[in-house]
Structure 1
Amino acid sequence: MAYTADTPQNPPAEELRARIPGWGADLDPKDRPAVPRERLDLDTGAHWDFPERQEEKWPRERSIEHKFLTPVFGTACPPRGLSGAMRKYAYRKYSEGRAAHWLMLIAADRVDAGESHLRSFATLHPDNPITETGVLSEFPRHGLSSRFSQKRADLSHQWIDPVIIAGPWLLAAGAAVAAVAAARTLRKRGGA
């Protein structure tokens, strides 16, 4: 039973050895360096058998491998928007042992970054890619010469960095220009 003070009850060793190839290879205490420290008869000092559960303010993501949510969990980043829906879907649909689960969570992080950029435009301090990427510090601190005169680990991908950083901003600006041009065209057709 998970998250309790009870000692877990495992199936008999013979059953496990028959079912799982290689099971029990570390049963001999002299092959296990942690054996002197594995004492279950010591008093842990815990005043509970099962920890008090943290209040769940919204439905939390929970792996399909677990019966219930851990007693304590993080609440700093509640899922929201499309990225939150993607995270919930990854936890609901895929096991943590599947690559699809983790790839979907990585994609949700990228979507969350985009959502954060869009949300920043509604504030008094929108994101500024020029100052936040440190590009301005390249000029007074010999950035260009340092890129070619030393062995740097990031030399192999330096050429694509401007594309990754500026690309989304240029695409957004292009989309805005195209939308304005389309609106002007529609207005001219409607007025003519």
Structure 2
Amino acid sequence: MAYTSDKPKPAESSDELRARIPGWGVDLDPKDRPAVPQERVDPDFSGAHWEFPERQPEKWPRERSIEHRFLTPVFGTACPPRGLSGRIRRHAYARYSEARAAHWLLLLGADRVDELESTLRSFVSRRPDNLVAETGVRAELTRRGLSSRLGHNRADVVHHPIDPVIVVAPWVVGAGLAYTLVRRLARRRRG
């Protein structure tokens, strides 16, 4: 029974499990368990003060794994899925089991698409992203960035040369594409 205070009943009896799994039930004898003096067993006590927890209201359709009949009683609401990344996430949950690699690869791809969407959204807003502050370039120059990395047996030293490429290259490519687009539009208006 999913999401209740009841514990599920074992499918097999102790004798069947002991016959099938070598060493199963080795701690059934209280003399073999080191925690026995502190152990208090009450089979009717589950620790829960509810039969089924109160359900959180669902303000919009949430992603739900196809393995589950319904949503968990409590779920996150901080980032509602939106745009293309939201569609990719919904597809991953609606189509693939959590046991499939495709499910997780689609969710990873949706994260990358979401990052791109938020970057594009910042360009059209009145307050675009501050690349110098957010990428830590200023801190590299003023807060001993290079000396803090060298000579300290850090595992991430090997990828330092590629960091500027990974961080800066998308912005340079984007700026180049924007420049080319604006230039073509200007030529069309003139000609």
TM-score range for the pair, normalised by the shorter chain length: 0.7 to 0.9
Give a deviation string over 1:30-65, Cα, whole Å, max 9, x none. Answer: 58888957753226351x311121111111111111
For 1:42, which of 24, 40, 45 is the aligned residue? Answer: 45
For 2:185, which of 183, 186, 192 is the aligned residue? Answer: 183
Q: Please state how far the C-alpha of 1:24 moved relative to its aligned partner.
A: 7.9
Residues 88, 110 of structure 2: 8 Å contact kept: yes
Secondary structure, in 3 states, of the residue corresponding to 1:74? coil
Q: Please state how far the C-alpha of 1:149 moved relative to its aligned partner.
A: 4.1
In the alignment, the residues of structure 1 paired with residue 22 and residue 64 of structure 2 have an alpha-carbon distance, to the nearest angstrom, of 31
Residues 3, 50 of structure 1: 8 Å contact kept: yes
Residues 64, 71 of structure 2: 8 Å contact kept: yes
In the alignment, the residues of structure 2 paired with residue 152 and residue 186 of structure 1 have an alpha-carbon distance, to the nearest angstrom, of 53
Secondary structure, in 3 states, of the residue corresponding to 2:146? helix
Pairing of 1:89-100 with structure 2 (within 5 A): 89-100=91-102
Q: Give me the TM-score of the superposition, normalised by structure 1.
A: 0.81
Question: Counterpart of 2:167?
Answer: 165
2:154 is the alignment partner of 1:152? yes
In the alignment, the residues of structure 2 paired with residue 40 and residue 58 of structure 1 have an alpha-carbon distance, to the nearest angstrom, of 40
In the alignment, the residues of structure 2 paired with residue 65 and residue 174 of structure 1 have an alpha-carbon distance, to the nearest angstrom, of 46
| Cα distance, 1:28–1:81 mapped onto 2, change above 3 Å | same
Q: Please state how far the C-alpha of 1:175 moved relative to its aligned partner.
A: 0.9
Give a deviation string over 1:97-153, Cα, whole Å, max 9, x none. Answer: 112211211111111111111112233321111111111122233333444444332
In the alignment, the residues of structure 2 paired with residue 33 and residue 92 of structure 1 have an alpha-carbon distance, to the nearest angstrom, of 47
Secondary structure, in 3 states, of the residue corresponding to 1:102? helix
Return the letter of the residue paired with 2:111: D
Supply the RMSD in Å over aligned alpha carbons.
Answer: 2.8
In the alignment, the residues of structure 1 paired with residue 53 and residue 148 of structure 2 have an alpha-carbon distance, to the nearest angstrom, of 54
| Cα distance, 1:184–1:43 mapped onto 2, change above 3 Å | closer
Return the letter of the residue paired with 2:62: R
In the alignment, the residues of structure 1 paired with residue 66 and residue 105 of structure 2 have an alpha-carbon distance, to the nearest angstrom, of 17
| Cα distance, 1:148–1:74 mapped onto 2, change above 3 Å | closer
Return the letter of the residue paired with 1:117: T
In the alignment, the residues of structure 2 paired with residue 100 and residue 180 of structure 1 have an alpha-carbon distance, to the nearest angstrom, of 38
> Which structure 2 segments of 5+ residues have no match?
none
Percent of paired sites with the same residue: 56
More displaced 10-residue stretch of structure 1: 142-151 or 55-64: 142-151
| Cα distance, 1:97–1:45 mapped onto 2, change above 3 Å | closer
Secondary structure, in 3 states, of the residue corresponding to 1:44? coil
Residues 53, 72 of structure 1: 8 Å contact kept: yes
Pairing of 1:54-69 with structure 2 (within 5 A): 54-69=56-71
| Cα distance, 1:5–1:45 mapped onto 2, change above 3 Å | closer
Pairing of 1:1-192 with structure 2 (within 5 A): 1-13=1-13, 26-30=24-28, 36=39, 40-42=43-45, 44=47, 46=49, 48-188=50-190, 191=191
Return the letter of the residue paired with 2:27: P
Q: Please state how far the C-alpha of 1:71 moved relative to its aligned partner.
A: 1.1
